[in-house]
Amino acid sequence: MSTPNDPTRCPLCGQSNHCTQADPARAGEDCWCFSTPIDPAALARIPPADIDRACLCPRCAQALPPDAPN
Ligand SMILES: [Zn+2]
């Protein structure tokens, strides 16, 4: 058995994706992804099993380096 994918974590880097839609306490709020452009190359890197299941984190969505200072 493999570990179920966590919908609150980015499928590319494993960090929290800050998705309000994945958090029952905040599900009615607008998510950052509603207003942030998503890099098509980042979308293309999502494993097929995670498409439409787990959101990208803001950094991966914009193709930023994971640990860019500030
Ligand atoms: Zn990420």
| Alpha carbon of 18 to ligand 1 centroid (Å) | 10
Q: Is residue 7 part of a domain?
A: no
Q: Is residue 15 part of a domain?
A: no
Taking CA 16 as the corner, what is the angle to CA 15 and CA 17, rounded to the nearest 5 degrees? 110
Domain count, the chain: 1
pLDDT at 21 (0 to 100): 85
Binning pLDDT at 50, 70 and 90, where does residue 69 land?
A: low
Average pLDDT estimate for 21-26: 86
| Alpha carbon of 24 to ligand 1 centroid (Å) | 20
Domain of 37?
A: 20-61
Mean pLDDT of the chain: 86
Q: Is residue 33 part of a domain?
A: yes
| Alpha carbon of 43 to ligand 1 centroid (Å) | 11
| Alpha carbon of 34 to ligand 1 centroid (Å) | 16
Residue pair 5/48 in contact (Cβ under 8 Å)? The answer is: no
| Alpha carbon of 47 to ligand 1 centroid (Å) | 13
Q: Is residue 29 part of a domain?
A: yes
